[in-house]
Structure 1
Amino acid sequence: MKRLILLAALVALPFAALADDERLPLEHFVQLPEYNEVSLSPDGRHLAITAPVDDQTGVVILDISDPESVSIAGGFQLSANEHASNVVWANNERILFGTNRQEGRLAQPRPTGRIYGVNVDGSRSRMLYGTDPGSRVFRMGTVLSTLPDEEHRVLILTRAHDSDRPTAQRLHIHTGSTRRVAISPIPFGSLVADQQGRVRLAFGPDEDGQATFAYRDDHGEEWQDFDLDFDQRWLNFHGFDGSGEHIYFSSRETGRMGLYRIRVEDQSVETLIESDTVEINRVLWSEDRSRVIGAIKRDGKPEMVFIDPDQPTAILQRQISAAFPDEFSRIVSFSQDTDLAIVVAESDITAAGYYLFDTDNLAASFLLSNFRELDPQRLYRTEPIQVESRDGLELHGYLTTPAGEGPHPTVVVVHGGPHGIRDEWTFNPEIQLLAHHGYAVLSVNFRGSGGYGHEFETMGYRNWGTTMQDDVTDATLWAIEEGHADPDRVCIMGGSYGGYSTLMGLIREPELYACGVSVVGVYDLPLMFEEGDVTESSQGIRTLERYLGTDEEDLIARSPARQVEKIEAPLYISHGGQDVRAHISHYNFLKEQLDEAGIEYESRLFPEEGHGYYKVENRKLYYGDVLDFLKRHIGE
């Protein structure tokens, strides 16, 4: 077991990519991550991890009492398309977790409202709260907090079909029995508990849709109006501090997500962290969770911003960061006595690795990592870039270049979403696969992407296929002008919205792209209102109207399937037969239009897959197709 002494350079890997004629096996790149979420038990003896296997994500509990001999203590498997998340240690012997429904790797996870429990040895596993699949009874629950004085109960937030008011209940962690604690005074809202498990804040929309808040003191007296002049649409509560005197929240008050603190007594608000470039996307707590000490922002590469750099946990975190100079490392979980912690470290060329860290001795033991077969020395660096659009907008993105001098054959990878989603500096096996086969890889956070503030994101609304597409084009032209991309060997590629952008790129810029690869793409905008799961709710319909608009002629004009006769470059398309987000009808309609226009294309359908591919054998087939297609049309 690798032993790491932090103050004496924890990690020292040479990171320059090595030239090597031998290709790493394709299967090393297309495996799913083995581990996602990790959480340390209060006594530091066990580690709960969420572990994806094909189309479900279960929970595995490891015995790490001896880091030199880690073993599996227990686990819990779920049904297809159900994915464990939000793991909570109720005590040293039992964990609780929620689940999401996700029908495809690229689909947006949707909470099921189920709460499961399992002992560390895998015994006494059961659903404690929620609704069985197919049931007509609707009830959803999420864990609000543990209860310091009740070892066998936790506090949960519940919603039911017969009430518009969320409730807080005590849930028995073995039997699933509940006892109501509080009812929200605000319909369709939510509740926040302090660190002693007392429900003290309620928030939600009023009759006019405006944010409204209510508060009560730690004695649980009557609810009082709480004046907080912030837009609820962009407001996230992170919790009370240890004293119960302050509440932390983030908001887009300045247009970009910042971090704030409310003093409960007089409802005054203190600004803690704001940025004039990007939004914060994760808050950092002290080792005892008594206060928020900082946040993470991703301006190019990720970095931590501390409220008080001299706070002990902030000092500890900086020591850990210094020991991983080429990676982004952070503490994700502490034991109850704070003597032990779990540290995760990753970079553009190293997948997430997890370490058990001794806070007294400043020593760490390696536990596990994802994509272990991929040698960082044979992968390629990703660098942040900045591009100016044709209308003067500052765009940010990333460029990964293979070995050798440029210009290189290049793949422009367009992210999905598209709104609220962004490309980040992180380990991406798809990008590394392409770079490993000799391609430069370019990605850009075009207008409409998340992470750069409300104004930047809304610039993309109703601009699919127009200014959003121009941003991708401008980034591609920048890569050519800077000598990174060979102008005759550029392919555009993407999934979901990225598939839409691929087709629109071929249509609008026939001289720029030598080929296109689209997977689970959206191809006809009117069809978004007719097929798929987005329109199953009124909120989904409103979201489509906000993102796409409602003018039928305009939607048709911005639909690639309606103008396939303009496609001149080779095209590869792939789809999942069970896709309910970019419904399979998009794929079928596009193929019909291509066939009628006499446009040649290559395609592959995976009948049992959804919006993105889970099964490794299917991922291997898909990426094998992609590599073969790229080699034939832009070389290596």
Structure 2
Amino acid sequence: MNALLKNNHMKWVLLTVLSGFFSEICFVVHSQEALPHQNLIAVKEVSDFKVSPDGAIMAHLAPHEGFLNLWVGSKGGRHLQLVTQQSRSVSEYWWQYDSQHLLYLHDPDGAENWHLYQTDLKGFNTRDLTPFHGVQARLIAYRAQAPDQMLIALNLQNRSRHDLYRLSLNHGALSLTYVNSQGMIDWLADADLEARLAISINESGSFELLRRVANSTQWETAYKFPTTSQMPRLISLSPDGKTACFQDHHQDSGNRLWTIDLATLTVTALGPETQENILECLIDPMTGMPEGVAMNNHQRSWHMFRDAYGDMMDFLRFDPGNLSFPSRSIQKMHWVVAYRDASMSTTHQLFSFGDRYQIRLLGMERPALRGQTLAQTKRVTFPGPDQEIIHAAWTPPLDAVDHPYQGVLIRAEGGHKEPAHLAYDEETQWLAHQGMGVLTLSFPSVPSLERLGHWMTGHWSATLAAHCHAAAQWVIAEGHAKPDQIFAKGVGEGAYGVLEAAIQHPEIFKGILLLNGIYDMPSFVRELPAYDRGLLSGLARRDSVTRLMKASLLNKVAPLKSNILILHGEEMAWAQPAQSSALEAALAQSEVTATRHTLPTTSDRHMESEGALAYYRYLQHFLYTHAAKTDF
């Protein structure tokens, strides 16, 4: 078997044969109006596979009536059962340790007030474990040592503050364990689900690691993070309670994994010395400690802390793509393995230990792409302001098709996202098939580990705008497009940077696309969901953040010459539609051509099928109007 898998031809023979096992889970959402190359942007037929703790059953997300819902079946993909029938997509889910129930987060009203649900495997007994209107649930700890309990955070008593609760998964009972009077934003719990460590923001706006005093409800400062620290995140606490692991981003060293000895308070970097950002941690399902890290290099590269995984990693490299491990059984005998690559559909497989290694195909997210020629994406770097090196992903237009459009789209997207050179990106491929080159920016100095993390940098908006301008300069210098063929797209916070770049350099950008954007910080702060106000009030202790909270682009749009397409979801909790309405009103006093549309059923995390198809129709019309070839 091992020798067979080393042969490139036989790899795809194996995938082709095994894909038949999963043919029964294909659910394609058809639109009323066909788009060119619509198979490139179709809803994923399967995604997010997770094996049950006992290794016997497989769960995954797949569309049901246009929304991602939970399905379960055997490890071979048979006997599929629809578990949930939600009218909004399921966002995140976990197996309960009894392997008989699934737990998932669902946003019933589109306001990011996530509720925690529990369901059996047939979907007959589903209950909302946090049935409180306007309250957001966050999972803090769930450990195999306490399989029938969970530690969660709820802003039940105060909408701007999350307190800790112990939840019984058997009875649904909730008990308050800690009132968050110190503005804590993250916690670590031990195997008994007792909170032991936390992160808070001190009087100067810097982060601190707090430790709970033994046999007390009081907390003390154990470690002060450097002032360059941006949104540290707690990962794990060792079973003996002596060592904690956390992830942090520093402007000078990137996103790293660190350990702290809680007796000596010595902090040590975990993993290889590199400036590459950490993308993922492999966590032991029993102890909760990290066993490896994936880093953002030219490919996703893994550094394992256990030598025993070396042979397995060599075996798993038989398939093209970048490895990730979304799920493992409790005894680590079965691993769900995802292969991601910018030029292929993501493939999910099940790797099993035994007398010999075994691999089984679970499904491909977009099987219609198999055998289709896709545009190639590569990583590029170019100089930015102050001798900064900017990292980006470049996808040239596909040469094999007759293109209706020409030009380059520079994308500056807000929020945490897999780097574009490491995974298939539907929009990039759709644009490349129609003649547009795509340059996707990542902002290493403006991390998005957690929301509002970028506010820690006083030069946030200036960085975004400067990166967009530098990207345009690179496109022109490389001969990919002329200034009147360059477009830019910004999403969320990225929309602020794109708009500011177009204001500062009106001679470059022919058109800009703004999706769910933020343009006026004072109103954004006023409209901020209550559960984020506590965090922002802590960050606002920094002068740079205070200045940023007063910034606005609405009174600076006069220099604009770009054609503008403004799109906003009808239900947005993070960036309210009023932001786009205010920009539209400001642009009405200028000479630019601006068009505004509302997208149905969209959220910060994804667009549902209806909203996605509407987005591409508006984008297609925008390109037809401003980027169409004159001889096409």
The structural deviation recorded for 1:333 is: 2.0
Partner Cα distance (1:38, 1:551) in 2: 44
Which residue does 2:54 correspond to in 1? Answer: 43
Q: How has the CA–CA distance of structure 1 residues 619 and 549 changed in structure 2, closer, same or farther, with 3 Å as cutoff?
A: same
8 A contact 2:539–2:545 mirrored in 1: no
Greater displacement, 47-56 / 590-599: 47-56
Which residue does 2:139 correspond to in 1? Answer: 142
Partner Cα distance (2:83, 2:543) in 1: 41
Partner Cα distance (2:382, 2:518) in 1: 26
Which residue does 2:39 correspond to in 1? Answer: 28
Letter in 1 for 2:197: A
Partner Cα distance (2:449, 2:600) in 1: 37
Letter in 1 for 2:506: P
Letter in 1 for 2:126: S
Which residue does 2:124 correspond to in 1? Answer: 123
Superposed CA RMSD in Å reads 4.3
360, 384, 388: which one aligns with 1:389: 384
Partner Cα distance (2:557, 2:627) in 1: 22
Matched, 1:132 2:132: yes
Letter in 1 for 2:511: C
Partner Cα distance (1:606, 1:451) in 2: 24
Matched, 1:307 2:305: yes
Residue 37 of structure 1 aligns to a residue whose secondary structure is: strand
Matched, 1:336 2:346: no
The structural deviation recorded for 1:345 is: 0.9
Partner Cα distance (1:565, 1:290) in 2: 54
The structural deviation recorded for 1:93 is: 1.5
Which residue does 1:345 correspond to in 2? Answer: 339
Greater displacement, 502-511 / 198-207: 198-207
The structural deviation recorded for 1:162 is: 5.1
Q: How has the CA–CA distance of structure 1 residues 391 and 247 changed in structure 2, closer, same or farther, with 3 Å as cutoff?
A: closer
Which residue does 2:507 correspond to in 1? Answer: 511
Residue 71 of structure 1 aligns to a residue whose secondary structure is: coil
The structural deviation recorded for 1:500 is: 3.3
Q: How has the CA–CA distance of structure 1 residues 499 and 198 changed in structure 2, closer, same or farther, with 3 Å as cutoff?
A: closer
Letter in 2 for 1:504: E
Letter in 2 for 1:294: G
Letter in 1 for 2:132: D
Matched, 1:582 2:599: no
Partner Cα distance (2:169, 2:393) in 1: 46
Deviation string, structure 1 residues 323-353 (Cα, Å, up to 9, x no partner)? 12x3001332222343322111111022322
Q: How has the CA–CA distance of structure 1 residues 100 and 274 changed in structure 2, closer, same or farther, with 3 Å as cutoff?
A: farther
Partner Cα distance (1:345, 1:570) in 2: 39
Residue 142 of structure 2 aligns to a residue whose secondary structure is: strand
Residue 478 of structure 1 aligns to a residue whose secondary structure is: helix
Unaligned runs of 5+ in 2: 14-33
The structural deviation recorded for 1:623 is: 1.3
266, 279, 283: which one aligns with 2:277: 279
The structural deviation recorded for 1:298 is: 1.2
Partner Cα distance (1:384, 1:359) in 2: 35
Partner Cα distance (1:332, 1:343) in 2: 7
Matched, 1:73 2:73: no
Deviation string, structure 1 residues 185-207 (Cα, Å, up to 9, x no partner)? 9855465344x536372334488
542, 555, 563: which one aligns with 1:570: 563
Letter in 2 for 1:355: Q
Q: How has the CA–CA distance of structure 1 residues 480 and 157 changed in structure 2, closer, same or farther, with 3 Å as cutoff?
A: same
Partner Cα distance (2:517, 2:615) in 1: 14
Which residue does 2:551 correspond to in 1? Answer: 555
The structural deviation recorded for 1:393 is: 1.2
Greater displacement, 42-51 / 604-613: 604-613
The structural deviation recorded for 1:317 is: 2.6
Q: How has the CA–CA distance of structure 1 residues 544 and 172 changed in structure 2, closer, same or farther, with 3 Å as cutoff?
A: closer
Which residue does 2:31 correspond to in 1? Answer: none
The structural deviation recorded for 1:25 is: 4.3
Residue 366 of structure 2 aligns to a residue whose secondary structure is: coil
Which residue does 1:18 correspond to in 2? Answer: none
Which residue does 2:585 correspond to in 1? Answer: 592
295, 298, 307: which one aligns with 2:296: 298
Which residue does 1:106 correspond to in 2? Answer: none
Matched, 1:173 2:169: yes
8 A contact 2:53–2:95 mirrored in 1: no
8 A contact 1:349–1:427 mirrored in 2: yes
8 A contact 2:199–2:210 mirrored in 1: yes
Partner Cα distance (1:229, 1:42) in 2: 37
The structural deviation recorded for 1:550 is: 5.4
Partner Cα distance (1:206, 1:594) in 2: 38
Which residue does 2:612 correspond to in 1? Answer: 619
Q: How has the CA–CA distance of structure 1 residues 458 and 298 changed in structure 2, closer, same or farther, with 3 Å as cutoff?
A: farther
After superposition, where does 1:186-225 map in structure 2 within 5 Å?
187-189=182-184, 191-194=187-190, 196-197=191-192, 199=194, 201-205=196-200, 208=203, 211-214=208-211
Deviation string, structure 1 residues 424-473 (Cα, Å, up to 9, x no partner)? 422110111101111111122347532799xx967963452x45312211
Greater displacement, 498-507 / 622-631: 498-507
Deviation string, structure 1 residues 214-246 (Cα, Å, up to 9, x no partner)? 3689xx899896844546964333223466654
8 A contact 2:183–2:535 mirrored in 1: no
Which residue does 1:319 correspond to in 2? Answer: 315
Alignment TM-score, normalising by the size of structure 2: 0.79
Residue 38 of structure 1 aligns to a residue whose secondary structure is: strand
Partner Cα distance (2:260, 2:588) in 1: 61
Partner Cα distance (1:97, 1:523) in 2: 33
8 A contact 2:143–2:193 mirrored in 1: no
Unaligned runs of 5+ in 1: 14-22, 104-108
Letter in 2 for 1:328: N
